[in-house]
A and B are shown apart, each in its own frame.
Chain A
Amino acid sequence: MLTLYGKDLASRLLLGTSQYPSPATMSEAIRQSGASVVTVSLRREMSGGRTGGDFWGLIQSLALDVLPNTAGCHSVKEAVTTAQMAREVFGTNWIKLEVIGEHDTLQPDVFGLVEAARILSEDGFAVFPYTTTDLVVAERLLEAGCRVLMPWCAPIGSAMGPVDLFALRAIRGHFPETPLIIDAGLGRPSHAAQVMEMGFDAVLLNTAVAKAGDPVGMARAFGKAVEAGREAFVSGMLEPRDMAAPSTPVIGQAVFT
């Protein structure tokens, strides 16, 4: 079972809540995916205004663990303030920390990220940092107090899937004990299955489901892919080899029939 900051989670899929055609579709997609954690952006949705019967009410009605995020924050100060607001609004010390450094690729500002992670960890937050696959940054984030890392496999929303397998293998290999969640860049269920087969602990996605032709069907597909990939990793996969190896012994049988 996946344990994040002391909490046991039934599913290894974490799903975002933005960009769905409608909240009804979103709710159904989340249900069908089997996800046990949903990420919610505080920044734009639900800032001010009234609650009750609205979007936040719908999220609450899902009765899942909520991982608020600091999406859209470009500075340490902004991210820290947003995290503190999220703690008030959602009543959780979990925070998915995003400090964006570059507009076009939404690449994290890793320097700001480490700084914000330290401030928030010292303030009692359970920080889930959205980071790159850089090993040194990962090390610094752990030093700053993070107990979970969320490396990207490609830019947010790009649907490119795992573009740098070497980097992914390296970060997995360097931090065998740290829960690593692939956050951002997954486009199709096979991408999710692939990174789960590599031994990552979970995946977090949003656009690939929300913007699919049928988000509910795609959510189900990703749910299955994550389970398949995990089970394959745990079961131990056959390594590729250069020679053919018959699945049925042929010794003692006629060569030509």
Chain B
Amino acid sequence: MFSDQPPLSPNALRGQIRGQDGRRPGRMLVIGAGVAGLAVAHALAARGVDVTVAEISDGIFDSASWFAGGMLAPWCERESAEEEVVTLGKAAADWWDRAVPAEVQRRGTLVLARPRDASELARFASRTSNHEAVDEAAIAALEPDLAGTFRKGLYFSGEAHIDPRRVLAGLQSRLAAQGVTFRFATDGRTVQGYDHVIDCTGFGDSKPGLRGVRGEMLILHAPDVSITRPVRLLHPRFPLYVVPRDDHHFMIGATMIETTDSRPVTVRSAMEFLNAAYGLHPAFGEASIVEMGVGIRPSYPDNLPRVTCAGNTISINGLYRHGFLLAPAMAEKAAALLFKDVET
């Protein structure tokens, strides 16, 4: 058994993480292969721990993370989120760059509003920091396709974005290469024989304090549109963001609806998205709708994530709409807790 373990990293040797028999490194079971599960698996594997990931679905495509925008935009999020989201999230781009190299796009975020909604822009600017005001010429320089459409905007140059699906798949294959075992179509709660369990199963019934917030998204293929960074279009009723993916594909999102209903995207939401996208760039009118998806975001009442302990189980949950932004900080926190736990 012991000889099958991957070699211990210097960090792990310092931490001397040990199992119940006090000699071999503890075996860790991560339940859930969404962004929280894969991020904590990475944090533990980097410390040289024997990690297994159990996922109830057949693959990594069934989590809320699969439908995420992938914006690493802590300063923009501050518009409606607590300061903690900035504190915990501002190192996320670097973390992902190390975890899955060459996937993080550091091109900032552009926040725009129609002249009619200029007060939305003023409000957004007053609630956030680390941005600069951009005029028509600056917007055109950043995104030539949007030239002449918008007069005023905000540019958050320190922000980044990723493609969640590429990053999740890339991280999974890197973890597998490092010796992390993946067990798909497995209910992790029935798996025995591990020293520690890290529950990353997201929204579920009978989890105290946790609620589900429905998010709907679209993927459009618009060959005539070139946008290279996330764009947020402010509107008093139908705010929208567009996140560029490979080859003129764009993720458009996302609704925030207080329900756990996971039925397919409603006509109303789709209509609002498509209308707003068309307003951002008329060429979206000729785009193909490649996909419509729905995810249920696990959320605590303050919309901030938590790492909690019960017996030998640590849970990471409540990432809300900040999965890729806050999973790194939560994963490192959980890993640090585990190492402290086994040392004492």
Contact = CB atoms under 8 A, between A and B. Distances in A.
Q: Determine if chain A interacts with chain B.
A: yes
Interface of A: 21-25, 27, 44-50, 52-55, 57-58, 157, 211, 213
B302 A44 contact: no
A102 to B, nearest CB: 13
B302 A24 contact: yes
Contacts of B304: 22
Nearest to B126: A213
Contacts of A213: 126-127
Contacts of B212: 49, 54
Contact of B259 (A23, A24, A45): A45
B302 A54 contact: no
Contacts of B126: 213
B4 interface: no
Contact of B263 (A27, A48, A57): A48
Interface stretch (B28-36, B201-209, B277-285, B328-336): B201-209
Contacts of B205: 50, 52
Contacts of A58: 211, 301
A50 B304 CA distance: 22
Contacts of B259: 44-49, 54-55
26 contacts: A21-B81, A21-B303, A22-B301, A22-B303, A22-B304, A23-B302, A24-B300, A24-B302, A25-B302, A44-B257, A46-B258, A48-B263, A49-B260, A49-B261, A49-B262, A50-B205, A52-B205, A53-B207, A53-B210, A54-B260, A55-B258, A55-B259, A57-B211, A58-B301, A211-B123, A213-B127
Contacts of B301: 22-24, 27, 58
A117 to B, nearest CB: 24
B80 interface: yes
B225 to A, nearest CB: 26
Interface of B: 80-82, 123, 126-127, 205-212, 214, 236-237, 257-263, 300-304
Given A23-B303, A54-B258, 19 more contacts: A22-B304, A24-B300, A24-B301, A24-B302, A44-B258, A45-B258, A46-B259, A47-B261, A48-B259, A48-B261, A49-B259, A52-B205, A53-B211, A54-B211, A57-B211, A58-B211, A58-B301, A213-B126, A213-B127
Contacts of A54: 211-212, 258-260
Contacts of A23: 211, 301-303
Contacts of A157: 236-237
Task: Determine which residue in B260, B263, B303 has the highest number of CB atoms from chain A within 10 A of its CB, and name it.
Answer: B260
A45 B303 contact: no
Contacts of B302: 22-25
Contacts of A22: 82, 301-304
Contacts of A48: 259, 261, 263
Nearest to A41: B258
Contacts of A50: 205, 260
A216 to B, nearest CB: 12
B80 A21 contact: yes
A248 B82 CA distance: 52
A44 B236 CA distance: 17
Contacts of B208: 53
A23 B212 CA distance: 12
A21 B258 CA distance: 13
Nearest to A22: B303
A68 to B, nearest CB: 14
A54 B211 CA distance: 4
Contacts of A53: 206-211
